[in-house]
Amino acid sequence: MGSPNQPVDALLQDYLHRNERLRRFAWVFTAIPLALFVLLSVLAAREGREYLRLSEEIRQQTIRLQELQKKNDVQQLAIKFVQQQSPGERPKVVVYRLAVAGQVTDALKTLGYDVEERVKQANPALADKPVDTLSYGCSVRDQDIRTVATALTNAGIPIRRIVPAERNPDPNLIQVISSGITEETQNPLSISEISTWTRSSRPCQGQQPPGY
């Protein structure tokens, strides 16, 4: 700060120094906030980009969820329909081939049937023969057999024969097997044939049916 008796030249020099300092301050106090602003903008933009990506993902997941809900509704309807057609206890479905286990499960789970895999009990002699036969226990209802056969046919597993069970004593069991008796040349049952199929053997009458 200058004194009251300073000559004009000294005051002028003081003023010029102040002016230079002011200019430097103007540069510094603009450059630093500007740099910070740019840095924070870049960081915020990155977060914004991530937010947009996640928003898009949420939108896609929501669409997928809606599709799954629709599919689920259809499956629930199918289960309800099957339950109405064949009220009471459902037969268990057993599959012995690992290769088709997934297909069978997918086709029948949606209809409310329990599918059990018994891969270890598969007959090694028929390992090369494709699954083509349904074997049913004596207390399995015809409607359940028709439903299972139709579902398997629609899932790409052709059924050539539907026969009463001979070895497994469980009366409420449907087995998806490859039978040595079923000819590979035999035509698979069509959907219309399956829909009109009825068993030839009698249902259980409180005792084991013949053949057990």
Partner 1 sequence: MPCDCTGTIQTLIDADKKYVATCCWIYGIVLTVSVALTVCLSVFVIKNNNLTSLSGLLANGLVFPLVPKHLQRARALTVMEGLMRECGRHAAEDPPCKRIADAVDAMLRSITGAV
- Positions touching partner 1 (CB under 8 A) are 1-4, 6, 8, 11-12, 14-16, 18-19, 22-23, 26-27, 29-30, 33-34, 37-38, 41, 44-46, 48-49, 52
Q: Rounded to the nearest 10 degrees, how much is the dihedral formed by the CA atoms of 166, 170, 172, 174?
A: -50
Q: How far apart are CA 206 and CA 170, in angstroms?
A: 13
Residue number, 44 or 119, with CB nearest to partner 1:
44
Residue number, 49 or 118, with CB nearest to partner 1:
49
Instruction: Tell me the closest approach of the beta carbon of residue 65 to partner 1, in angstroms.
Output: 24
Instruction: Tell me the closest approach of the beta carbon of residue 18 to partner 1, in angstroms.
Output: 7
Residue number, 33 or 88, with CB nearest to partner 1:
33
Residue number, 18 or 167, with CB nearest to partner 1:
18
Q: For residue 97, what is the DSSP state?
A: -
Instruction: Tell me the closest approach of the beta carbon of residue 62 to partner 1, in angstroms.
Output: 19
Angle between helical axes of 8-85 and 142-154 (0-180°, round to 10): 140
The Cβ-side half-sphere exposure at 147, using a 13 Å CA radius, reads 26
Residue number, 28 or 74, with CB nearest to partner 1:
28
Residue number, 46 or 59, with CB nearest to partner 1:
46
Residues whose CB is less than 8 angstroms from the CB of residue 151 and which lie 6 or more positions away in sequence, other chains included:
107, 108, 111
Instruction: Tell me the closest approach of the beta carbon of residue 64 to partner 1, in angstroms.
Output: 22
CB neighbour class for 136 (10 Å; exposed up to 12, middle 13-18, buried from 19): buried
Instruction: Tell me the closest approach of the beta carbon of residue 30 to partner 1, in angstroms.
Output: 5
Instruction: Tell me the closest approach of the beta carbon of residue 13 to partner 1, in angstroms.
Output: 9
Long-range contacts of 98-105 (CB under 8 A, 24+ apart): 100/131, 100/157, 100/176, 103/155, 103/156, 103/157, 104/152, 104/155, 104/157, 104/176
